[in-house]
Structure 1
Amino acid sequence: MKEKKAKKNQTTVRMNLLFVSVFFLFSMLILRLGVVQIVKGSQYEAEVSRTENVKSDNGNPPRGKIYDRYRNVIVDNVPMNAITYTSTQSTKSKEMLEVAENLSKLIDIDEKVIESINPRDKQDYWLLRNKEKAAELVTKDELAKLEANEEMDEDERNKKAYEMQLDRIPKDELKAFTNEELKVLAIFRQFNTGYALTPKIVKNKNVSDEEMARVSENLSSLPGVNVTTDWERKYVQDSTLRSILGKVSTTEQGIPTELVDDFKSKGYAMNDRVGTSYFESEYESLLKGKKEEIEHITKNGSVIDSQMIKEGHSGKDVYLTIDLKLQKELETIVEEELSKQAAKRWESPYLDRAYLIMMNPYTGEILSMVGKKYGHDKDGNVELQDDALGTFTSEYGVGSAVKGATVLTGYMTDSLAIGESLLDEAIQIKDTPVKRSWFNQSRGAMYMTDKQALEWSSNAYMWKTAFKVAGVTYQKDQPMNIKRETFDTFRNHFKQFGLGVKTEIDLPGEADGLQGSEYKPGNLMDFAIGQYDTYTPMQLAQYVSTIANGGYRMQPHIMKEIREPNYESEKVGSLLYEHESKVLNRLDASEEEIHSVQQGFYRVAHGANGTANNFANAPYDAAAKSGTAEAFYYAPERGKNLETYNTTLVGYAPYSHPEVSFAVVLPASHQDKDPYVNKTIAKRAMDKYFELKKEYEKKGYYSESTDKEVIETDE
């Protein structure tokens, strides 16, 4: 009995202890719940409901259009179907891969896109698709060594392990991808361009209506995929000015590798389309559209709401100084005359290109810049191609066209007086060949003034002017000491005209010409008649414009104005910026000295002995200066330079109040007999300019900055 009673007491004690413990634990739990709910309730509630606001730039706004001075479209945008993909911050690679597989069953992928898949793309894709095999490519010991390396952080260890996996993927595995797998990879690769929450173009070329319909019907099973409208850059005028307009990258190309850092610092995405060359590149900041700015409210990486902060818009419209109709008419003239003469292989075996520039001498506005040269199409066939680019990136010996600068250098250095007479005679410096003017052999020695020297294109007058600048006196068959400083004097004065220095045209890649490297008396003589240093066609145009306008070197430019996008087809957008004419420098010459050379140029076009007197009866009263330069043509098939001649012609009109200047350059124009193609092209071009001027005045065309309606020229 006593034992039973003792056991009962022990049980009672244990039950009491258990009860007290349970009571104590519940009390603690209730207390803890109280603290959580009352003291820290608001903190935990905020944590549960915490979200993030994330901004993104969405859409693919069209680039600005490019127009000519009369509001005719030169570069446009063409709408096209597009399929896009947008990932969130929490989207996993596995999820993206699943969407890519489903999408691949609904759309076609161009073979060229598949062919563009590089080895690294295939390696990354293989590792993603073969997790278990990938893990076996790096041993546990190798991983342990990486873990033991205290000099590497975790990211560096993971990167090293991944690189080891990439290097060890069996080559035959990478070659075993099927067409369907490569198709999925091409889509998956596009998914991974750009940023999260920003739409990426998956396909925007040749997207059929059937593909758009199939994808639209299955959007519920394709998270992140959308169908929309995109754009493609269209160069409306085919090859016209094509070489200077430049290019825009595709979504597949995105930002060129060498420009990634620069563009990313400006907020561009890797797959953004950007101008990659010339005009499209030079004015990228204006032509690019502004994406719409979206603010996303996210929770754990998933988007729960989105709202637009700023609307997107097209890029700014750019209006050029170019007269499109004039440009195309002059292109036709150059093509006709170039092809006609190039066909005469017995006269012009090396002639393969021609250049023609027209500009306003007072403003520097380029009205046309024509360049044509023979090249090969993609099939290897010979064809005439646009080379407007060559008007400011290629340089040539230009001959007597620069004699106006030589005479003015004589004036500006006080070495030559206006109206001064010098004897045109054969020049022979000791131990050098005899040099003479083209007419000296038949007419003999004769005195002539500066104006006559320009009209006749006297070489001897220019040589003697150069001697006077050098401070030496010519004596037949005697040596002559020409200091190097004389070359510097001439070059510095020629630069005042734009010869031998960049014209500062508003396009990249301009050449500034080549300088001869020897400083002998014969070299100075060659320099004075344009047969030593080389110049670009654009430099010639700037040079003759400087003479035409009374001595002001104007910056040539093709950008006229910037306007807001044109949303009404018959109206121009509001004016944002208008290019102001820029004077780069003024000649260090008096009005009388400049006028004297102008008179000489007038006699070239009107005098009985003028070398460009095919303009004599023109109603627009032109002034001009022709040039012929001994040159060399490199024949790759023969591996050597062959002697030839370049011909040039510069001028302006009307003589008393110039409104247009021009420069014509024909490299390797002929061998023996000059066919005067330079003069034919120049005359036809100027005739066409004044013909169109009358037509424009009759139809009421305008080119000033206004908000009037767009006027279309006849094609």
Structure 2
Amino acid sequence: MGNKKKKKKTQLPFRINILFFVVFLMFTVLILQLGVVQILNGEAFQEEIDRTVKDTTKIPVPRGKIYDSNHNVIVDNKPLYSITYTPAKGTQAEDRLEVAEKLSKYISMDDEKKYLDKLTERNKKEYWYLKNKEEADNRLSEKEAADLDNAEQYNTILDRITKDEISGFSKQELEVIAIKKELDKAYSLTPQIVKNDDVTAEEYAKVSEHLDVLPGVNATTDWNRDFPFGETINSLLGTITTQEQGILAEKEQYYLTRGYSRNDRVGKSGLEEYYEDVLRGTKEQIQYTTTKSGEVVGTETVVEGSRGKDLVLSIDMEFQEEVDKIVREELKAAVQSHPYDNKYLKDALAVVMNPQTGELLAVSGQTRDGNEYSNAAYKTLYDAHRPGSIVKGATVLAGLESGVISPGQRFNDSPIKISGTPKKGSYSSSIGVVDDQDALKRSSNVYMFYIALKMGGENRYPFPNGNKASFNTEAWQKMRNYFQQFGLGVKTGIDFPYESVGFEGDSMNRAGLLMDFAIGQYDTYTTMQLAQYVSTIANDGYRVRPHFLKEIREPSKSGKDLGSIYRSENTDILNRVQMDQSYIDRVQEGFRRVFQEPGGTGYGYYHSKDYNAVGKTGTAQNEVYKDGKKLAETENLSLVGYAPYDEPEMAFAIIAPDTGKGTSYKINHMIGTRILDAYFDLKEERDKEKNEEKE
């Protein structure tokens, strides 16, 4: 008995040991398996989890607003109803068709021009295929299918669907096709607008009530750009793409790498394009938790969205509207004054800026097509014209700084005849002997001719008529270098996506052409370049960058008032002309004489005004061509100036190309005087209001 008890006692620990050993083996296997999962397959499993469990979608937000310098809204966001579709992962064509058929009960897509007429043959064939899938698939034999990939098989089947089979759809079916066409554009977990700018309140309500049977569909609000001031400077404000267009194809990678979706609307022209990064805002980011089958089981907002920052422009819309009115009225008046002579007069352009800061106060372009007139402010940046005598300030300064003339040097204004070149003279035969300042006052062409000749190495005075002039072609670049210091022939640096630098004529070995250049009848410049040029003279030789932007503001929390200042636009001095200040003073005095002394070419229009304006008048011969054939010889009438003379606060440039030759209606002066009057009248009115508020 004693031995049996002892034997049992020795067997019990052995069984426990066996049990412990089995448990140990099991834990070892588990640990090894865990190691395999974490070390060998961990990354693959994590990718599977990330791919199937959590996805983040970005919801577009309204763009920033645009204000004028007085904080009037000039570009706003107009809210509107919107029907969107956000497909789950793994959604198939059959699923989208089912949604389209259900959605067609609650919204209408019967606008033929907008929806039905845009349906393609392929849209209709794809619909027919889904409704007749078995029959369609049988049109491709197994032997044919063996040699084709899936896409090729599908396209071959579509090709075999006849026109007769897709020609009898009812209007209701066509609307379903139109809806499905929009649904097909959607990317997984990315909202796609199905219908927005013409959704009725009834449609919005019906869709909202039936969201439970419309997977992926939502009834929400969207926005479109709104322009409270109408079309006045819309060509400068620019446009944005529609959601159908999405991001610009030519810049697709640029946008995609910056967090855009393909159906995002972006600025495609003007200030909307230039300040896209500011106006776009921060998208709301929503994280979706999904099953492996793509079913959404949870959502979480991980980034709160905020609309774009606001732009405050330097443009004064009250003044801008008045300038637009003036330019349009004077363009009409000029056309009507001599209908036959002015039949080629199509445009009138004007730029007003602060010469000390570069702030643009008004930019106007008016154009006509027959008797129809419209705004085309972009032409002040896009179109370049021969400027005429308004560039003579740069010519005199080039002569003084290069040393080919000295301050006060005098020449007799008598026509010059170079061998092989027509006789060249001034507009008047009674100018007589003038110095540099009176040459500006009386607009002497001959004085500028002698500067050009001397720049080219021809120093004979008076020039012996009929002789051949000595000429060094390096004078071309030398003269242009001086002009470019004022912004003539180079980019102004304006905050805009595009600006022309004008046309530079051939630098030929002909002194006569440089003489034409010296009086503004060879190279061409934009109105914006001319405004920068005269501003540089007004600003004692400092060339500042013209700009539309005054401030960038954070979006307002209330949605009514402007938010805090994010950034202010400072004055950007591009260069100081490499010319002695005393020479600039002489040109400034010459400009004063043009407007303020008897005999000045602008005296009759400006001498009686209180604001003490100064400037330079211009007329350039210009030819009109069509299909390489010269139709007529016309004139460009131009004007530049600034005021007041002592402390300039506004500078302007005006050009009206292709006016009637020798026309008596001086559109340049009519626009100039009215713009100056409007500016200083508005200033006086506002100063009076401020004083009354203080009292």
Give the TM-score normalised by structure 1: 0.86
Aligned equivalent of 1:239: 231
Cross-structure match for 1:468? 454
> Cα distance, 1:639 vs. partner?
5.5
CA distance, structure 2, for counterparts of residue 670 and residue 478 of structure 1 = 34
- Do residues 56 (structure 1) and 56 (structure 2) align? yes
Structure 2 distance, partners of 1:590, 1:221, is: 80
State which of 651, 656, 661 in structure 1 corresponds to 2:641. Answer: 651
**1:353-432 counterparts in 2 under 5 A?**
353-375=347-369, 382-432=371-421
1:113 maps to 115
Structure 1 position 113, deviation (Å): 2.1
Q: For residue 319 of structure 2, what is the aligned residue in structure 1?
A: 326
Helix, strand or coil at the partner of 2:245: coil
**Residue number in structure 2 paired with 1:13:** none
Aligned position for 2:529: 539
- Secondary structure of the corresponding residue to residue 343 of structure 1: helix
Q: Is the 8 A contact 1:369 1:388 kept in 2?
A: yes
Q: Which amino acid aligns with 1:511?
A: S
1:250 pairs with 2:242: yes
Alpha-carbon distance change, 677 to 610 in structure 1, aligned in 2, over 3 angstroms = same
Q: What's the counterpart of residue 291 of structure 1?
A: 283
Contact 2:84 2:193 in 1 (8 A): yes
Residues 305-336 of structure 1: per-residue CA shift (max 9 Å, x gap) = 11111111111101111011100011111111
Which aligned segments of 4 or more residues in structure 1 are displaced greater than 6 angstroms? Answer: 40-44
Output the CA distance in 2 between the equivalents of 1:671 and 1:405. Answer: 26
- Gaps of at least 5 residues in structure 1 are 1-30, 147-156, 377-381, 702-710
Aligned residue in 1 for 2:658? 668
Match of residue 553 from structure 2: 563
TM-aligned CA distance change 1:117 to 1:275, over 3 Å: farther
Aligned to 1:193: 185
Determine the C-alpha separation between the residues in 1 that align with 2:687 and 2:557: 28
Query: Aligned residue for 1:527?
Result: 517
State how many pairs are aligned: 649
Residue 267 to residue 113, structure 1, CA distance change in 2 (3 Å): farther
**Contact kept in structure 2, 1:347 and 1:672, CA below 8 Å:** no
- Distance in 1, Cα, partners of 2:384 & 2:362: 19
Match of 1:141 among 131, 140, 143: 143
Question: 5+ residue gaps in structure 2?
Answer: 1-21
CA apart distance, 1:280: 1.1
Q: Is 1:98 the counterpart of 2:98 in the alignment?
A: yes
In 1, distance between residues paired with 2:500 and 2:56?
42
Report the alpha carbon displacement of residue 499 of structure 1 after superposing the two structures with TM: 0.7
Equivalent in the alignment of 2:302: 309
What are the superposed Cα offsets for residues 476-528 of structure 1, whole Å, 9 maximum, x if unpaired? 21011322211111111111111111112111221111112252222111101
Between the aligned partners of 1:488 and 1:204, the Cα distance in structure 2 is: 57
Aligned CA distance change for structure 1 residues 101 and 40 (closer, same or farther; 3 Å): farther
Deviation at residue 586 of structure 1 after TM alignment: 1.4
> Match for residue 591 of structure 2?
601
* Distance of 1:481 and 1:177 partners within structure 2: 82
Q: CA–CA distance in 1 between the matches of 2:612 and 2:515?
A: 32
Q: Is the 8 A contact 1:60 1:230 kept in 2?
A: no
| Gap change, CA 1:123 and 1:255, over 3 Å in 2 | farther
The alignment status of 1:261 with 2:263, answered yes or no, reads no
Amino acid at match of 2:364: V
1:379 alignment partner in structure 2: none
Task: Determine if the alignment matches structure 1 residue 438 to structure 2 residue 440.
Answer: no
- Equivalent residue, structure 1, for 2:667: 677
- State the distance in 1 between where 2:291 and 2:53 align: 9
Q: 1:59 to 1:641 in 2, by over 3 A?
A: same
Letter of the aligned partner of 1:652 in structure 2?
Y
Residue 448 (1) aligns with residue 431 (2): no
**SS where residue 98 of structure 2 aligns?**
helix
Q: Distance in 1 between matches of 2:631 and 2:340?
A: 18
Aligned residue among 468, 478, 500 for 1:479: 468
Name the SS for the 2:115 alignment partner: helix
Deviation of residue 42 (structure 1)?
11
- Match status 1:622 vs 2:613: yes
The one-letter code sitting in structure 2 at the alignment partner of 1:373 is T
Q: Which secondary structure does the structure 2 equivalent of 1:297 belong to?
A: strand
The percentage of counterpart residues that share the same residue type is: 42
Moved more, 187-196 or 486-495: 187-196
What is the CA distance between 1:285 and its match in structure 2? 1.4
CA-to-aligned-CA distance 1:220-247 (integer Å, 9 cap, x gap): 2112212111111112211110111111
CA drift at 1:158: 2.1
CA distance in 2, matches of 1:53, 1:69: 50
Amino acid at match of 1:116: K
Cα RMSD (Å): 2.6
Shift of residue 388 of structure 1? 0.4
Find the aligned partners of 2:686 and 2:679 in 1 and give their Cα distance: 10
Q: TM-score of the superposition, structure 2-length normalised?
A: 0.89
Shift of 1:675: 1.4
Aligned counterpart, 1:587: 577
* Alpha-carbon separation, structure 2, partners of 1:541 and 1:177: 61
CA contact (8 A) 1:392 1:536 kept: yes
Q: Distance in 1 between matches of 2:663 and 2:85?
A: 66
CA-CA distance at 1:57 after TM superposition: 3.1
Offset of residue 633 of structure 1:
2.2
Distance in 2 (alpha carbons) for counterparts of 1:122 and 1:257: 26
Contact in 2 for aligned 1:514/1:534 (Cα 8 Å): yes
Cα deviation, residue 570, structure 1: 5.0
